[in-house]
Amino acid sequence: MAKENKCLLQYLQICVLLVLTACGGTGANNPNTETGTGTSPEPVFTSTEAARFLTHATFGPRSAEISALRNASPSQWYRQQAALTPSLLSPVVAEFANRAPFRTLWRFSVTFGFWRNTITAQDQLRQRMAFALSELLVVSNSGGEVLRDVPDALAYFEDLLIANAFGNYRDILELVTYSPAMGYFLTYQGNLPADPNTGRMPDENYARELLQLFTIGVIELNTDGTPKLDANGQMVETYSNNDITGLAKVFTGLVLDGDISEDLAEQEFIAAQSFAYSRPMLTIANQHSTDEKTFLGMTIPAATNARQSIGAALDHIFAHANVGPFVGRQIIQRLVSSHPSTHYVERVATAFNQGSYQLPDGSLTGTGRRGDLAATVAAVLFDDEALNLGNDRMGRVREPILRFTHWARAFNVKNVTAEYVTDLYDTSEVTVLGQHPYGAPSVFNFFRPGYKAPGSVTGAQGLTAPELQITNASSIPSYVNFMEFFVTGKQAFTDIDDLQREFDDRQIDLGANQALDSFLPDYSIELNLADSPAALLDHLDLLLTYGTLSTPTRESIIDTLTLIPIATDEERRLRVHTAILMLMTAPDYLVSQ
Amino acid sequence: MIRREFLKTGSAALALASMGGAVTALSAMQAQAADTTGYKALVCVFLFGGMDNYDTIIPYDSTSYQRWAQIRASLVNAQGTTRQRAQLRPLTPSNQNDFGARRFALPPEFSGIHQLFQSGDAAIVGNVGPLIEPTTAAQFEDQTVSLPLRLFSHNDQQSTWMSGATEGAQFGWGGLFSDQQFSAGANSSTTFANITTGGNELFLTGPQTAPYNVTNDGAVLPYVIDNEDLSPSVRDRLVAHFRGEAYGQPSLLGRDLANKMRSAYDANAQYNQAAGTVVLNSAFPESGLGRQLQIVARTIAARHQLGTRRQIFGVSLGGFDTHDNQAASLPALQQQVDAAVVAFHTSMVDLGLNNDVTLFTASDFGRTLALNGDGTDHGWGGHHFVIGGGVNGQRIIGDIPPADFGHALDAGSGRLIPTMAVDQYAAQLGQWYGLNASELVGVFPQLGKFSPVASIFA
């Protein structure tokens, strides 16, 4: 193997290692915020404002967190969150690799890690931002094969996003480009240059999606996210197919860093795969296109090597004015609002472009370098449009994954051990949640940022509503059934013998009896309020809908609860279960205003 | 039977009259409408990712085959013997004369569809894709022709196939077809006119028609409403809740959710009542597409109970974006399509509906003839199957451009410039479905720009 730029490569690997490990201990990757409080008097949150903010910034508020944030400094909360040690997936993968002699658990370990970290970890804002990025820079293991069989690949990729959630988008693009998971998913791992003798052309997959989905999109944008129009009032496409064929040459000569020979014994083969998929891909000189590479008005001269070509190409693409509004609008959509105003998009894009943002207490966050995500996410969360109840056109449909994590956090579920809950291994089917972390059907995610639901009120108004793409006559009742299982604590009634047989059949090395305690909610507060449906609804309205529950829905739930007698503990539980199930399946909850 | 059909039409007219008092207008439309009698269904099998046209219809005469096998040598080698000429399934179309010495074959994975073709129940429609106007390679290169926007982009070309416009479009031609048939009185309601198992919503949506989503196992209802620990009065309230009845906020998204909850609940309950007990005599494969087409067949079997005489179904299969590993992945997909489609055809014959149901394929685009190593990249025009007793079978309709580079329909690397617009393909399906000429022009305003093509239907 002719390896080019070995020392640069080592440098890059060290960088990645630093990013992945050092930010835990030293905070090297924390946003560059001025220490101490800022100079401006900072407005404090009411309880409902705190709950609203935490709905955007976490995987669902808990009562204690709402109390802690009320009357505290939101800027300080943000800085503290950004300084927390990242909770990564790789350690979970390692844990299951060690624990299970058979591979089933290990293959699903990224999923277990996702549920564990997003529900229990302290670094909630980082986790939430990384999840948003995972729906923009999509890699999915839904196709099975290597990305399922080698969980290290997805763990390494998602850990890049987690570790760099407050880093820089340009750096992420570099890390993503060299990641074996993306190389596999978008099929440029092992991509070869053109061969005039056979007519072979470089694979165009990554070149196209890098432009269309990860950086600039298909039409020229103003900073506020609206399309730029030409002299004839027409939208302007950002690239042609010639740009794609030109750019495709850049992503040739990238291969796994490790020898994976089919001749290895099984355990060694698995270990070799894990090794190679947990580090950046290598560049190989004789597999990289030596042609001139022309795209988007740039020409990389003939005979430029892979690493230089990739660096130059990413710099050039990243310099495009679309990146700020294109990325910024999608982060708003993931955290706050499906159809943000153009002003909101412009403010966020400006923070992205300036690389800094002034927090409510007057301090600055961000390094000042364009693409700074600490500044971008702060601009998203602290915008007036995020902090205040908007008009009728605003809000977003909560993603099914976030509804479930919200329930698990709000009711402090015991034992977040998804390995005992087979329903949580894969929630992507429409008859389950219709969504699974890192399990999108394709690089286009579960829903598109530009989706306008046909035949809907929002669609008729031209409003984008991505999550409506997975909202239909099958997903609506299936979600109710999924939630009913967990809300009513059916885990506690698991047929242990059945489950043990299933574990044994699937070579899952677990004792089924622990399933009884997994994901069991703690309703002690709610049970104490069960005598008074109104008080119970006040409590749930803060915890689940930050005070936005409408009077008719509230009265409908109270009337229903009142019909349930409360003579026994069983009936008391029934009231609580019914209240939570009804609230979490009401439009008032499903759409966060 | 005739009396029942008459009664249905009568009640549809009544329902519309009570909504808008439009009896006169409705009668006028019925007079013009080409056909609302009997039962007819279209089934769209959308192959997501872009099916490789060069591995769908394979050149079979020796010269063309040799050239194809040379260009695709590494892929042909990687597939073992299955792409050897002797292994292919040669087509003997009744219009072979249109192609002179050029002959064509299907890959062995399509052996079931091959039989349907040979027996006259399947047609091949060649080189279909989005077009604004007739286009040549020179015009494409010189940019002297109006082109569909965002060619080669998955989501936009899927959207363009379904609706004629890029992502964000609101209505598809399947939706508009059903709207027309509803207006003409063929269906008494739009609830079960258009049905999807997921992924084709745009295609199936019209101003009046919203697609109904059904799972492979039928309709889903909240289990909790059957929970006997709850009193009937509580369960009644839960039903009202799950129908979104209480919601009264002005939020547009909230209204969408509440509307969807209500229509979902009502349709699911009605569907289960109508189709819950249907048992089919014929078997389907357990594959994803097999199970989708099975629920389509079950739904068709329950057409009377569902109150529909015109239906359009959308099913789909992903994985056709074969940038790499095509030698392993594509044959498995082809096999799945073949087995599922043949089972569906058998089932329609069994129900006595072979002449009344037409299945057709669609896909984002075709692919490059050039390889990128072990796969192919995004193309434009592609070849498709139309299957059913009503089809002008054992014919290749349209063009199969040569598997070579540099000809007048090569947009680069063998990406085919379509010679039949999606509009033309769709309009023929619409005509069979029952729309008349003026209604079709209403759905496809560009239709007049293209020269007429041979008829897909007998």
**CB–CB of B291/B216 below 8 Å?**
yes
B294-B300-B304-B306 Cα dihedral, nearest 10 degrees? 70
* Chain B residues 352-391 with a CB less than 8 Å from chain A: 368-373, 375, 377-378
**CA nearest A219 in B: which residue?**
B150
pLDDT tens per residue across span A421-462: 999 999 999 999 999 999 999 999 999 999 999 889 999 999
Question: B76 and B344 in contact (C-beta within 8 Å)?
Answer: no
Minimum distance, in Å, between the CA of residue A218 and any CA atom of chain B: 8
d(CA A361, nearest CA chain B) in Å? 32
Where does the pLDDT of residue B35 fall: very low under 50, low under 70, confident under 90, or very high at 90 and above? confident
Share of chain A above pLDDT 90, in %: 85
Average pLDDT over residues B373-397: 97
Instruction: Report how many helices (DSSP H) and strands (DSSP E) chain B contains, helices first.
Output: 15, 12
Mean pLDDT of A363-373: 98
Set of chain A residues whose Cβ sits within 8 Å of the Cβ of B323:
186-187, 203-205
Strands B40-47 and B310-317: parallel
Q: A461 and B252: CB-CB below 8 Å?
A: yes
Interface test with chain A among B151, B197, B223, B251, by most A beta carbons within 10 Å: B251
The residue with tokens 């909101």 is A344
Q: Does B269 touch chain A (CB under 8 A)?
A: no
Inter-chain touch A201–B372, beta carbons under 8 Å = yes
A188-239 pLDDT, tens per residue? 999 999 999 888 999 999 999 999 999 999 999 999 999 999 999 999 999 9
CA distance A536 to B118: 69
Residue A476 has its nearest CB partner, among B202, B245, B261, at B261
Residue A297: what pLDDT? 98
Residue scoring higher pLDDT (A43 or A63): A63
What span, in angstroms and rounded, lies between the C-alpha atoms of A555 and A584? 15
C-alpha B350/C-alpha B344 separation (Å) is 10
In tens, the pLDDT along A53-65 reads: 999 999 999 999 9
What are the chain B neighbours of A204 within 8 Å (beta carbons)?
323, 372, 377-378
Measured CA to CA, the distance from residue A101 to residue A507 in angstroms comes to 9
pLDDT for A267: 84
**Is B120 in CB contact (< 8 Å) with chain A?**
no
Interface-testing mutation among A198, A333, A480, A593, with chain B (most B C-beta atoms within 10 A): A480
Q: What is the pLDDT of residue A266?
A: 84
Q: Give residue B444's pLDDT.
A: 96
Report CB contact under 8 Å: A556, B171: no
3-state secondary structure of B315: strand
List the single range of A67-76, B2-11, B79-88, B230-239 with lowest mean pLDDT. B2-11
pLDDT on residue A101: 65
Distance set, CA A59 to CA A127, A384, A399, B41, B344 (Å) = 8, 21, 11, 45, 44
Q: How far is B316 from chain A (nearest CA, A)?
A: 12
CA distances from A571 to A29, A459, A533, A582 (A): 51, 43, 13, 16
Residue of A nearest to B404 (CA): A199
Q: Return d(Cα A208, Cα A198) in angstroms, integer.
A: 23
Please state the rounded mean pLDDT for residues B20-40: 51
Q: Report the residue from B168, B247, B373 with minimal CB separation from A588.
A: B247
Angle at B410 between CA B404 and CA B415, to 5 degrees: 90
pLDDT digits (tens, 9 = 90+) for A130-185: 999 999 999 999 988 899 999 999 999 999 999 999 999 999 999 999 999 999 99
Segment of A95-104, B15-24, B32-41, B413-422 carrying the highest mean pLDDT:
B413-422
Quickly count: other Cβ atoms within 10 Å of residue A44's Cβ: 14
Are A434 and A479 in contact by the 8 Å Cβ rule? The answer is yes
Q: Where are the alpha helices (DSSP H) in A400-466?
A: 400-410, 457-460
Q: A18 or A378: whose pLDDT is higher?
A: A378
Tell me the mean pLDDT in the region B221-236.
94
Mark which residues 197-256 of A lie under 8 Å from B by CB.
Answer: 198-205, 208, 212, 218, 237, 241, 244-245
| Model pLDDT for residues B96-109, shown as the tens digit of each residue | 999 999 999 999 99
Phi then psi dihedrals of residue B181, to 5 deg: -70, -35
> How far is residue A583 from each of residues A573, B61, B432, measured CA to CA in Å?
15, 67, 48
- Cα B324 from chain centroid? 26
CA distance B256 to B254: 5
> What pLDDT band is residue A531 in, cutting at 50, 70 and 90?
very high
Collapse the DSSP code of A27 into the 3-class scheme (helix H, G, I; strand E, B; otherwise coil) and give the result. Answer: coil
Query: With 80 as the cut, is the pLDDT of residue B70 above it?
Result: yes
> pLDDT digits over A232-279, tens only?
999 999 999 999 999 999 999 999 999 888 888 888 888 999 999 999
User: Which tokens sit at B386?
Assistant: 């139309």
pLDDT score, position A544:
98
Task: Give the Cα separation of A481 and A95 in Å (integer).
Answer: 32
Listed residue (A301, A318, A196, A197) closest to A250, CA to CA: A301
**Per-residue pLDDT averaged across A9-18, rounded?**
38
User: CB neighbours of A128 closer than 8 A, spacing ≥ 6?
Assistant: A57, A58, A59, A118, A335
User: Do residue B249 and residue A587 have CB atoms under 8 angstroms apart?
Assistant: yes
Instruction: Tell me the per-residue pLDDT of B259-302, one tens digit each, with 9 for 90 and over.
Output: 999 999 999 999 999 998 899 999 999 999 999 999 999 999 99
A587:B257 CB<8 A: yes
State the Cα–Cα distance between residues A394 and B254, nearest whole angstrom: 10
Question: Can you tell me the distance from the alpha carbon of A345 to that of A380, in angstroms, rounded to the nearest whole number?
Answer: 9
Compute the Cα dihedral for A30, A35, A36, A40 and give only its sign: negative
Identify the closest residue of chain B to A587 by CA–CA distance: B254
In this prediction, residue A144 carries a pLDDT of: 81
pLDDT for position A100: 66
Distance CA B372, CA B367 (A): 11
Q: What does the alpha-carbon distance between residue B44 and residue B312 come to, in Å, rounded to a whole number?
A: 8
| Across A81-90, A409-418, B30-39, least confident range | B30-39
Q: What is the pLDDT of residue A39?
A: 62
Mean pLDDT of chain B: 91
What pLDDT sits at residue A542?
98
Question: Would you state the pLDDT for residue A102?
Answer: 67
Q: Do A574 and B171 touch (CB under 8 A)?
A: no
Q: Which of B141, B149, B239, B256 to mutate to probe the A interface, most A CBs <10 Å? A: B256
End-to-end CA distance of chain B: 25
Q: Are B222 and A459 a contacting pair at CB < 8 A? A: no
Look-up of token digits 């082809």? B334
Q: Which of residues 279-338 of A touch B (CB under 8 A)?
A: 338
The whole-angstrom separation of Cα B115 and Cα B109 is 12
The burial class, CB within 10 Å (0-12 / 13-18 / 19+), for A64 is exposed
User: By the CB < 8 Å criterion, does B205 face chain A?
Assistant: yes
Tell which B residues from 32 to 91 touch A, by Cβ distance under 8 Å: 48-49, 71, 73-74
Query: Confidence band (pLDDT; 50, 70, 90) for A509?
Result: confident
Mean pLDDT across B132-159: 93
The yes/no answer to whether this complex scores an ipTM above 0.95 is no
Q: What's the whole-model pTM score?
A: 0.90
Cβ-Cβ contacts under 8 Å, A476 against chain B: 260-261, 264-265
Averaged pLDDT, B139-152: 92
Whether B152 sits inside 8 A of A457 (CB atoms) is no
What residue of A is the nearest CA neighbor of B226?
Answer: A481
Res. A31: pLDDT tops 70: no
Tell me if B285 sits within 8 A of B339, measured CB to CB: yes
- The answer to whether B250 contacts chain A (CB < 8 Å) is yes
Mean pLDDT, range B177-202, rounded to an integer? 93
Shortest Cα distance, chain A CAs vs residue B31, angstroms:
28
Residue in chain B closest to A203 (alpha carbons) equals B372
Percent of residues, chain A, with pLDDT higher than 70? 93
Q: A178 is written with which tokens?
A: 């060299």
- B282 CA to chain A: closest CA distance, Å? 25
* Closest approach of A452 to chain B, Cα-based (Å): 5
Q: Quote the DSSP letter at residue A168.
A: B
What average pLDDT does chain A have? 92
Q: CA of B149 to nearest chain A CA: how many angstroms apart?
A: 9
First to last CA, chain A: 56
Please tell me which residue of chain B has the smallest CA distance to A209.
B153
The span from the CA of A259 to the CA of A276, in Å, is: 8
Min Cα separation B259/chain A (Å): 9
**Cβ atoms B194, B247 nearer than 8 A:** no
Judged by CB atoms closer than 8 Å, whether chains meet at A212 and B149 is answered as no
E strand residue ranges, B290-416: 310-317, 357-363, 382-387, 396-398
- Positive or negative torsion for Cα B96, B98, B103, B108: negative
Mutation for testing the A interface, residue in B157, B229, B257 having most A CBs under 10 Å: B257
Range with the poorest average pLDDT among A326-330, A473-477, B198-202, B434-438: B198-202
For the cut 60, the answer to whether the pLDDT of residue A29 exceeds it is no
Residue B334 C-alpha, separation from nearest chain A C-alpha, in angstroms: 17
Torsion angle defined by CA atoms of residues A244, A250, A256 and A257, in that order, rounded to the nearest 10 degrees = -160
Q: For residue A420, how many C-alpha atoms fall within 13 Å in the half-sphere facing its CB?
A: 21
Q: Is residue A28 scored above 60 in pLDDT? A: no
A142 touches chain B (CB under 8 A): no
Q: Residue B31 has what pLDDT?
A: 39
Question: Is A490 touching B (CB cutoff 8 A)?
Answer: no
The residue among B169 and A122 whose pLDDT is bigger is A122
Answer with the residue of higher pLDDT: B35 or B336.
B336
Alpha carbons A99 and A107: distance in angstroms, whole number: 12
Residues of B in contact with A559 (CB under 8 A): 237
**Confidence (pLDDT) at A37:** 53
Please report how the helices A47-57 and A373-381 are oriented relative to each other, as an axis angle in degrees rounded to 10: 140
User: CA-CA distance, B388 to B39, in Å (whole number)?
Assistant: 14
